[in-house]
Copies of this chain bind each other. A is one copy, B any other.
Amino acid sequence: MTKKEVAAQIDELRSKKIGMFGKDFLLTWEKSAQEIEATFLVAEILRGMRQNSISPRFWDSGLGVSIFKDNSTRTRFSYASACNLLGLSVQDFDEKKSQVAHGETVRETATMISFLTEAIGIRDDMYLGEGDRFQREIGAALDDAVKEGVLPSRPAVVNLQSDIDHPTQSMADMLHLVNHFGGAANLKGKKIAMTWAYSPSYGKPLSVPQGIIGLMTRFGMDVTLAYPEGYSLIPDTLEVAKKNAAQTDGNFAVVSSMQDAFRDADIVYPKSWAPYAVMQERTELLKVSDDSGLKDLEKRCLANNAKYRDWECNEQMMKGTNGGKALYMHCLPADISGVSCKEGEVAATVFDRYRNETYIEAGYKPYIIAAMILLAKVADPSAALKAIMQRNTPRTAVLP
Protein backbone atom coordinates (compact mmCIF):
# COMPACT_ATOMS: atom_id res chain seq x y z
CA MET A 1 0.00 0.00 0.00
CA THR A 2 1.46 3.38 -1.00
CA LYS A 3 1.01 6.55 1.03
CA LYS A 4 -1.18 7.82 -1.81
CA GLU A 5 -3.44 4.81 -1.44
CA VAL A 6 -3.64 5.37 2.30
CA ALA A 7 -4.59 8.99 1.68
CA ALA A 8 -7.25 7.88 -0.81
CA GLN A 9 -8.76 5.57 1.79
CA ILE A 10 -8.86 8.43 4.28
CA ASP A 11 -10.77 10.44 1.68
CA GLU A 12 -13.15 7.53 1.15
CA LEU A 13 -13.66 7.31 4.90
CA ARG A 14 -14.73 10.95 4.95
CA SER A 15 -17.58 10.12 2.59
CA LYS A 16 -19.07 7.51 4.92
CA LYS A 17 -22.06 8.44 7.02
CA ILE A 18 -21.28 7.01 10.42
CA GLY A 19 -22.41 7.48 14.00
CA MET A 20 -19.98 5.24 15.87
CA PHE A 21 -18.53 7.89 18.17
CA GLY A 22 -19.24 7.08 21.81
CA LYS A 23 -20.83 3.74 20.96
CA ASP A 24 -19.61 0.26 21.79
CA PHE A 25 -18.92 -2.43 19.22
CA LEU A 26 -20.87 -5.47 20.44
CA LEU A 27 -22.74 -6.99 17.47
CA THR A 28 -22.00 -6.32 13.80
CA TRP A 29 -25.72 -6.17 13.05
CA GLU A 30 -26.09 -3.14 15.29
CA LYS A 31 -23.82 -1.25 12.90
CA SER A 32 -24.91 0.15 9.53
CA ALA A 33 -23.35 -1.05 6.29
CA GLN A 34 -21.43 2.21 6.03
CA GLU A 35 -20.17 1.77 9.57
CA ILE A 36 -18.95 -1.73 8.77
CA GLU A 37 -17.23 -0.37 5.66
CA ALA A 38 -15.72 2.46 7.70
CA THR A 39 -14.29 -0.08 10.12
CA PHE A 40 -12.61 -1.93 7.25
CA LEU A 41 -11.29 1.35 5.90
CA VAL A 42 -9.76 2.42 9.20
CA ALA A 43 -8.22 -1.04 9.67
CA GLU A 44 -6.66 -0.82 6.21
CA ILE A 45 -5.49 2.75 6.78
CA LEU A 46 -3.74 1.72 10.00
CA ARG A 47 -2.18 -1.29 8.27
CA GLY A 48 -1.08 0.96 5.43
CA MET A 49 0.53 3.42 7.83
CA ARG A 50 2.50 0.62 9.42
CA GLN A 51 3.56 -0.67 6.00
CA ASN A 52 4.90 2.80 5.31
CA SER A 53 6.63 2.92 8.69
CA ILE A 54 4.42 5.75 9.87
CA SER A 55 3.47 5.58 13.53
CA PRO A 56 -0.33 5.37 13.88
CA ARG A 57 -0.17 6.30 17.57
CA PHE A 58 -3.23 8.31 18.51
CA TRP A 59 -2.79 8.53 22.31
CA ASP A 60 0.25 9.70 24.18
CA SER A 61 -1.02 7.96 27.32
CA GLY A 62 -4.02 5.96 28.44
CA LEU A 63 -5.00 2.42 29.38
CA GLY A 64 -6.59 -0.33 27.33
CA VAL A 65 -8.22 -2.70 29.81
CA SER A 66 -8.79 -6.34 28.94
CA ILE A 67 -11.26 -8.64 30.64
CA PHE A 68 -10.88 -12.27 29.58
CA LYS A 69 -13.29 -14.64 31.25
CA ASP A 70 -11.93 -17.43 29.07
CA ASN A 71 -8.39 -18.34 28.06
CA SER A 72 -7.14 -16.81 24.86
CA THR A 73 -3.93 -16.38 22.93
CA ARG A 74 -4.92 -15.06 19.53
CA THR A 75 -7.43 -12.51 20.75
CA ARG A 76 -5.30 -11.48 23.72
CA PHE A 77 -2.32 -10.69 21.49
CA SER A 78 -4.54 -9.01 18.89
CA TYR A 79 -6.00 -6.75 21.53
CA ALA A 80 -2.58 -6.00 23.03
CA SER A 81 -1.25 -5.19 19.56
CA ALA A 82 -4.19 -2.95 18.75
CA CYS A 83 -3.83 -0.99 21.99
CA ASN A 84 -0.08 -0.69 21.56
CA LEU A 85 -0.50 0.52 17.98
CA LEU A 86 -2.73 3.36 19.18
CA GLY A 87 -0.52 4.25 22.15
CA LEU A 88 -2.45 2.57 24.97
CA SER A 89 -0.95 0.38 27.70
CA VAL A 90 -2.77 -2.86 28.32
CA GLN A 91 -3.88 -3.59 31.86
CA ASP A 92 -5.55 -6.93 32.50
CA PHE A 93 -8.51 -7.04 34.80
CA ASP A 94 -8.03 -10.48 36.24
CA GLU A 95 -11.28 -12.25 36.95
CA LYS A 96 -9.54 -14.80 39.15
CA LYS A 97 -8.08 -12.08 41.32
CA SER A 98 -11.18 -9.92 41.46
CA GLN A 99 -14.50 -11.63 40.84
CA VAL A 100 -17.08 -9.58 38.99
CA ALA A 101 -20.70 -10.45 39.62
CA HIS A 102 -23.79 -8.41 38.85
CA GLY A 103 -25.37 -5.13 39.68
CA GLU A 104 -23.52 -2.94 42.14
CA THR A 105 -20.25 -4.81 41.68
CA VAL A 106 -20.28 -4.48 37.89
CA ARG A 107 -21.23 -0.82 38.06
CA GLU A 108 -18.50 -0.05 40.57
CA THR A 109 -15.82 -2.12 38.86
CA ALA A 110 -16.58 -0.60 35.47
CA THR A 111 -15.98 2.84 36.94
CA MET A 112 -12.95 1.97 39.05
CA ILE A 113 -10.99 0.57 36.08
CA SER A 114 -11.91 3.47 33.81
CA PHE A 115 -10.63 6.73 35.26
CA LEU A 116 -7.79 6.96 32.72
CA THR A 117 -8.97 4.23 30.36
CA GLU A 118 -9.80 4.62 26.67
CA ALA A 119 -10.91 1.09 25.77
CA ILE A 120 -12.20 -2.05 27.47
CA GLY A 121 -12.02 -5.31 25.54
CA ILE A 122 -14.17 -8.12 26.93
CA ARG A 123 -14.23 -11.81 26.15
CA ASP A 124 -17.11 -13.60 27.87
CA ASP A 125 -18.44 -16.49 25.82
CA MET A 126 -18.91 -19.35 28.27
CA TYR A 127 -22.54 -19.07 29.29
CA LEU A 128 -25.50 -18.48 27.01
CA GLY A 129 -27.31 -15.34 28.02
CA GLU A 130 -24.34 -13.98 29.93
CA GLY A 131 -21.56 -12.54 27.75
CA ASP A 132 -23.49 -10.00 25.74
CA ARG A 133 -25.52 -9.07 28.80
CA PHE A 134 -22.35 -8.47 30.82
CA GLN A 135 -20.84 -6.27 28.12
CA ARG A 136 -24.01 -4.17 27.99
CA GLU A 137 -24.08 -3.89 31.76
CA ILE A 138 -20.51 -2.58 31.73
CA GLY A 139 -21.45 -0.16 28.95
CA ALA A 140 -24.50 1.11 30.82
CA ALA A 141 -22.42 1.64 33.96
CA LEU A 142 -19.92 3.67 31.94
CA ASP A 143 -22.70 5.73 30.40
CA ASP A 144 -24.00 6.52 33.87
CA ALA A 145 -20.55 7.40 35.15
CA VAL A 146 -19.97 9.84 32.30
CA LYS A 147 -23.43 11.35 32.66
CA GLU A 148 -22.90 11.82 36.40
CA GLY A 149 -19.56 13.53 35.81
CA VAL A 150 -17.62 10.72 37.48
CA LEU A 151 -15.58 9.77 34.41
CA PRO A 152 -13.87 12.38 32.23
CA SER A 153 -14.59 10.36 29.09
CA ARG A 154 -16.34 7.19 27.99
CA PRO A 155 -14.06 4.18 27.37
CA ALA A 156 -15.07 2.18 24.30
CA VAL A 157 -16.24 -1.36 24.99
CA VAL A 158 -15.14 -3.84 22.32
CA ASN A 159 -16.66 -7.31 22.20
CA LEU A 160 -13.76 -9.73 21.99
CA GLN A 161 -16.24 -12.64 21.90
CA SER A 162 -19.59 -13.02 23.54
CA ASP A 163 -22.18 -15.77 23.61
CA ILE A 164 -23.86 -14.12 20.61
CA ASP A 165 -21.25 -12.59 18.31
CA HIS A 166 -17.50 -12.54 17.72
CA PRO A 167 -17.21 -9.36 15.69
CA THR A 168 -13.43 -8.97 15.79
CA GLN A 169 -13.20 -12.44 14.26
CA SER A 170 -15.93 -12.09 11.64
CA MET A 171 -14.73 -8.63 10.63
CA ALA A 172 -11.14 -9.88 10.25
CA ASP A 173 -12.50 -12.82 8.23
CA MET A 174 -14.50 -10.49 6.02
CA LEU A 175 -11.59 -8.11 5.45
CA HIS A 176 -9.54 -11.12 4.41
CA LEU A 177 -12.22 -12.00 1.85
CA VAL A 178 -12.40 -8.42 0.59
CA ASN A 179 -8.65 -8.38 -0.06
CA HIS A 180 -8.49 -11.96 -1.30
CA PHE A 181 -11.22 -11.41 -3.89
CA GLY A 182 -10.02 -7.94 -4.88
CA GLY A 183 -12.69 -5.77 -3.33
CA ALA A 184 -16.00 -5.92 -1.53
CA ALA A 185 -17.90 -5.58 -4.82
CA ASN A 186 -16.47 -8.90 -5.98
CA LEU A 187 -18.02 -10.68 -3.02
CA LYS A 188 -21.53 -10.13 -4.35
CA GLY A 189 -23.01 -13.50 -5.28
CA LYS A 190 -20.06 -15.50 -3.96
CA LYS A 191 -21.12 -18.60 -2.09
CA ILE A 192 -19.78 -19.17 1.43
CA ALA A 193 -20.46 -22.39 3.31
CA MET A 194 -20.43 -21.94 7.07
CA THR A 195 -20.63 -25.53 8.18
CA TRP A 196 -20.40 -27.53 11.33
CA ALA A 197 -17.47 -29.97 11.37
CA TYR A 198 -16.61 -32.93 13.53
CA SER A 199 -14.37 -32.49 16.54
CA PRO A 200 -13.47 -34.88 19.33
CA SER A 201 -14.26 -32.16 21.87
CA TYR A 202 -17.45 -30.49 22.93
CA GLY A 203 -18.66 -27.15 24.19
CA LYS A 204 -17.12 -24.91 21.55
CA PRO A 205 -18.95 -21.57 21.50
CA LEU A 206 -21.53 -20.60 18.90
CA SER A 207 -20.29 -17.08 18.39
CA VAL A 208 -18.13 -17.77 15.34
CA PRO A 209 -20.82 -19.32 13.10
CA GLN A 210 -23.36 -16.80 14.41
CA GLY A 211 -20.96 -13.96 13.69
CA ILE A 212 -20.24 -15.24 10.18
CA ILE A 213 -23.87 -15.63 9.09
CA GLY A 214 -24.74 -12.33 10.73
CA LEU A 215 -22.05 -10.43 8.84
CA MET A 216 -21.52 -12.18 5.51
CA THR A 217 -25.22 -11.93 4.62
CA ARG A 218 -24.85 -8.15 4.54
CA PHE A 219 -22.82 -7.91 1.36
CA GLY A 220 -24.98 -9.77 -1.11
CA MET A 221 -23.20 -13.06 -0.56
CA ASP A 222 -24.82 -16.44 -0.89
CA VAL A 223 -24.47 -17.79 2.65
CA THR A 224 -25.24 -21.40 3.39
CA LEU A 225 -25.25 -22.65 6.96
CA ALA A 226 -25.01 -26.42 7.44
CA TYR A 227 -25.17 -28.56 10.54
CA PRO A 228 -26.31 -32.02 11.58
CA GLU A 229 -29.69 -32.39 13.19
CA GLY A 230 -29.74 -30.78 16.60
CA TYR A 231 -26.68 -28.55 16.17
CA SER A 232 -28.68 -25.39 15.72
CA LEU A 233 -27.58 -21.88 16.72
CA ILE A 234 -29.35 -19.23 18.79
CA PRO A 235 -32.59 -18.82 16.75
CA ASP A 236 -32.44 -15.00 16.77
CA THR A 237 -29.13 -15.01 14.90
CA LEU A 238 -30.70 -16.96 12.02
CA GLU A 239 -33.42 -14.34 11.84
CA VAL A 240 -30.73 -11.67 11.59
CA ALA A 241 -29.09 -13.56 8.72
CA LYS A 242 -32.40 -13.97 6.86
CA LYS A 243 -33.25 -10.31 7.19
CA ASN A 244 -29.79 -9.25 6.07
CA ALA A 245 -29.91 -11.43 2.99
CA ALA A 246 -33.32 -10.09 2.01
CA GLN A 247 -32.09 -6.51 2.34
CA THR A 248 -28.90 -6.94 0.33
CA ASP A 249 -30.22 -9.08 -2.46
CA GLY A 250 -28.13 -11.95 -1.19
CA ASN A 251 -29.16 -15.39 -0.06
CA PHE A 252 -29.24 -17.29 3.19
CA ALA A 253 -29.99 -21.01 3.31
CA VAL A 254 -29.77 -23.68 5.97
CA VAL A 255 -29.00 -27.25 4.92
CA SER A 256 -28.24 -30.42 6.81
CA SER A 257 -25.33 -31.81 4.84
CA MET A 258 -21.76 -30.64 4.43
CA GLN A 259 -21.77 -31.85 0.82
CA ASP A 260 -24.78 -29.70 -0.02
CA ALA A 261 -23.22 -26.67 1.60
CA PHE A 262 -19.89 -27.17 -0.15
CA ARG A 263 -21.48 -27.60 -3.61
CA ASP A 264 -20.08 -24.81 -5.84
CA ALA A 265 -18.97 -22.86 -2.79
CA ASP A 266 -16.32 -20.19 -3.31
CA ILE A 267 -15.47 -20.15 0.38
CA VAL A 268 -15.81 -22.81 3.06
CA TYR A 269 -15.66 -22.29 6.83
CA PRO A 270 -15.93 -25.75 8.47
CA LYS A 271 -15.86 -25.50 12.25
CA SER A 272 -17.17 -27.42 15.20
CA TRP A 273 -19.63 -26.01 17.70
CA ALA A 274 -21.88 -27.31 20.42
CA PRO A 275 -25.64 -27.54 19.88
CA TYR A 276 -27.60 -24.58 21.18
CA ALA A 277 -29.65 -26.85 23.44
CA VAL A 278 -26.48 -28.36 24.88
CA MET A 279 -25.05 -24.93 25.59
CA GLN A 280 -28.25 -24.02 27.41
CA GLU A 281 -28.08 -27.20 29.49
CA ARG A 282 -24.38 -26.68 30.10
CA THR A 283 -24.97 -23.10 31.23
CA GLU A 284 -27.45 -24.28 33.85
CA LEU A 285 -25.11 -27.05 35.06
CA LEU A 286 -22.16 -24.66 35.25
CA LYS A 287 -24.20 -22.18 37.26
CA VAL A 288 -24.83 -24.76 39.96
CA SER A 289 -21.40 -26.40 39.57
CA ASP A 290 -22.99 -29.78 38.89
CA ASP A 291 -19.81 -31.69 38.01
CA SER A 292 -21.36 -35.11 37.57
CA GLY A 293 -24.08 -33.56 35.44
CA LEU A 294 -21.41 -31.87 33.31
CA LYS A 295 -19.49 -35.11 32.88
CA ASP A 296 -22.66 -36.91 31.85
CA LEU A 297 -23.49 -34.13 29.39
CA GLU A 298 -20.02 -34.29 27.88
CA LYS A 299 -20.30 -38.04 27.47
CA ARG A 300 -23.66 -37.79 25.73
CA CYS A 301 -22.40 -34.99 23.49
CA LEU A 302 -19.25 -36.72 22.42
CA ALA A 303 -21.30 -39.83 21.64
CA ASN A 304 -23.60 -37.69 19.54
CA ASN A 305 -20.69 -35.88 17.85
CA ALA A 306 -19.27 -39.28 16.92
CA LYS A 307 -22.26 -39.92 14.67
CA TYR A 308 -21.01 -37.12 12.41
CA ARG A 309 -17.37 -38.06 11.90
CA ASP A 310 -17.92 -37.70 8.17
CA TRP A 311 -18.38 -33.94 8.58
CA GLU A 312 -14.72 -33.46 7.73
CA CYS A 313 -13.36 -30.93 5.26
CA ASN A 314 -11.25 -33.35 3.23
CA GLU A 315 -10.07 -33.55 -0.38
CA GLN A 316 -13.21 -35.41 -1.48
CA MET A 317 -15.39 -32.76 0.13
CA MET A 318 -13.35 -29.91 -1.41
CA LYS A 319 -13.83 -31.39 -4.89
CA GLY A 320 -17.47 -30.39 -4.78
CA THR A 321 -16.64 -26.71 -4.36
CA ASN A 322 -16.38 -24.19 -7.18
CA GLY A 323 -13.62 -25.57 -9.42
CA GLY A 324 -12.54 -27.65 -6.42
CA LYS A 325 -10.77 -24.55 -5.24
CA ALA A 326 -12.90 -22.90 -2.59
CA LEU A 327 -11.01 -20.73 -0.12
CA TYR A 328 -10.76 -22.56 3.22
CA MET A 329 -11.21 -20.39 6.32
CA HIS A 330 -10.85 -21.00 10.03
CA CYS A 331 -10.60 -18.88 13.17
CA LEU A 332 -7.84 -21.22 14.49
CA PRO A 333 -6.80 -23.40 16.09
CA ALA A 334 -8.37 -26.03 13.83
CA ASP A 335 -8.76 -29.68 14.79
CA ILE A 336 -6.63 -31.21 12.03
CA SER A 337 -7.08 -34.93 11.43
CA GLY A 338 -3.96 -36.88 12.18
CA VAL A 339 -2.20 -33.77 13.50
CA SER A 340 -3.95 -32.25 16.47
CA CYS A 341 -6.37 -35.16 16.86
CA LYS A 342 -7.15 -38.53 15.28
CA GLU A 343 -10.18 -37.33 13.38
CA GLY A 344 -11.17 -33.70 13.22
CA GLU A 345 -12.58 -30.74 11.35
CA VAL A 346 -10.17 -30.74 8.44
CA ALA A 347 -7.85 -33.14 6.62
CA ALA A 348 -4.16 -32.37 6.98
CA THR A 349 -3.60 -31.99 3.22
CA VAL A 350 -6.39 -29.44 2.92
CA PHE A 351 -5.18 -27.47 5.93
CA ASP A 352 -1.60 -27.52 4.66
CA ARG A 353 -2.68 -25.95 1.39
CA TYR A 354 -4.50 -23.12 3.14
CA ARG A 355 -2.40 -22.65 6.27
CA ASN A 356 -0.92 -19.36 5.11
CA GLU A 357 -4.34 -18.09 4.14
CA THR A 358 -5.65 -18.77 7.65
CA TYR A 359 -2.64 -16.93 9.09
CA ILE A 360 -3.21 -13.94 6.83
CA GLU A 361 -6.88 -14.04 7.88
CA ALA A 362 -5.85 -13.86 11.55
CA GLY A 363 -3.41 -11.05 10.83
CA TYR A 364 -6.22 -8.57 10.19
CA LYS A 365 -7.56 -8.88 13.72
CA PRO A 366 -5.24 -6.39 15.45
CA TYR A 367 -6.13 -3.72 12.88
CA ILE A 368 -9.86 -4.47 13.11
CA ILE A 369 -9.75 -4.06 16.88
CA ALA A 370 -7.73 -0.83 16.61
CA ALA A 371 -10.27 0.48 14.09
CA MET A 372 -13.16 -0.34 16.42
CA ILE A 373 -11.49 1.52 19.26
CA LEU A 374 -10.61 4.55 17.15
CA LEU A 375 -14.09 4.87 15.63
CA ALA A 376 -15.71 4.71 19.05
CA LYS A 377 -13.36 7.26 20.56
CA VAL A 378 -12.77 9.86 17.86
CA ALA A 379 -15.52 12.17 16.69
CA ASP A 380 -13.93 12.85 13.30
CA PRO A 381 -11.82 9.81 12.45
CA SER A 382 -10.87 10.88 8.93
CA ALA A 383 -9.55 14.19 10.24
CA ALA A 384 -7.62 12.36 12.95
CA LEU A 385 -6.08 9.91 10.49
CA LYS A 386 -5.21 12.71 8.09
CA ALA A 387 -3.49 14.54 10.94
CA ILE A 388 -1.56 11.39 11.81
CA MET A 389 -0.42 11.03 8.20
CA GLN A 390 0.65 14.66 8.10
CA ARG A 391 2.44 14.36 11.41
CA ASN A 392 4.37 11.57 9.67
CA THR A 393 6.14 10.30 12.80
CA PRO A 394 8.37 7.38 11.78
CA ARG A 395 7.64 4.15 13.62
CA THR A 396 11.35 3.60 14.18
CA ALA A 397 14.24 5.93 14.95
CA VAL A 398 15.57 5.31 11.44
CA LEU A 399 13.74 4.01 8.43
CA PRO A 400 14.25 0.25 8.15
Docked CA distance A98–B68 (Å): 13
Are A91 and B77 also in contact (CB < 8 A) when A60-B393, A98-B71 are?
yes
Give per-residue flags for A302-344: 1 if the beta carbon is below 8 A from chain B beta carbons, else 0. 0000000000000000000000000000001100100110000
Q: Quick check: A356 and B149 within 8 Å, CB to CB? A: yes
Q: Quick check: B398 and A363 within 8 Å, CB to CB? A: no
Q: Quick check: A400 and B379 within 8 Å, CB to CB? A: yes
Partner of A145, one of B61, B112, B359, B394: B359
Query: Is A288 interfacial (CB-CB < 8 Å)?
Result: no
Q: Quick check: A108 and B333 within 8 Å, CB to CB? A: yes
| Interface residues on chain A, size class | 35 or more
Q: Quick check: B61 and A395 within 8 Å, CB to CB? A: yes
Smallest beta-carbon distance A102→chain B, Å: 10
Number of this chain's copies in the complex: 3
Are A58 and B397 also in contact (CB < 8 A) when A98-B71, A104-B336 are?
yes
Which A334-378 residues sit within 8 Å CB-CB of chain B? 336, 339-340, 356, 359-360, 362-363, 365-366, 378
Which A386-400 residues sit within 8 Å CB-CB of chain B? 387-388, 391, 393-398, 400
Query: Is A129 interfacial (CB-CB < 8 Å)?
Result: no
Query: Is A122 interfacial (CB-CB < 8 Å)?
Result: no
Name the residue on B nearest A68 (C-beta). B97
Smallest beta-carbon distance A66→chain B, Å: 11
Smallest beta-carbon distance A65→chain B, Å: 8
Which A92-106 residues sit within 8 Å CB-CB of chain B? 93, 97-98, 103-105
Query: Is A59 interfacial (CB-CB < 8 Å)?
Result: yes
Majority DSSP secondary structure for residues of A touching B? mixed
Q: Quick check: B80 and A63 within 8 Å, CB to CB? A: yes
Query: Is A62 interfacial (CB-CB < 8 Å)?
Result: yes
Docked CA distance A109–B359 (Å): 10
Name the residue on B nearest A54 (C-beta). B60
Apart from A77-B91, A108-B333, A380-B398: 14 A-B pairs, beta carbons within 8 A: A60-B394, A65-B77, A72-B97, A73-B93, A77-B115, A77-B117, A90-B91, A104-B340, A112-B332, A116-B366, A378-B400, A384-B398, A387-B398, A388-B397
Instruction: List, sorted by A's number, 25 A–B pairs whose CB atoms are closer than 8 Å.
Output: A50-B152, A55-B60, A58-B397, A61-B85, A62-B395, A63-B77, A63-B84, A71-B98, A77-B91, A77-B117, A78-B115, A84-B116, A90-B91, A103-B339, A108-B332, A108-B359, A116-B366, A149-B360, A150-B360, A151-B363, A153-B400, A378-B398, A383-B398, A384-B398, A387-B398
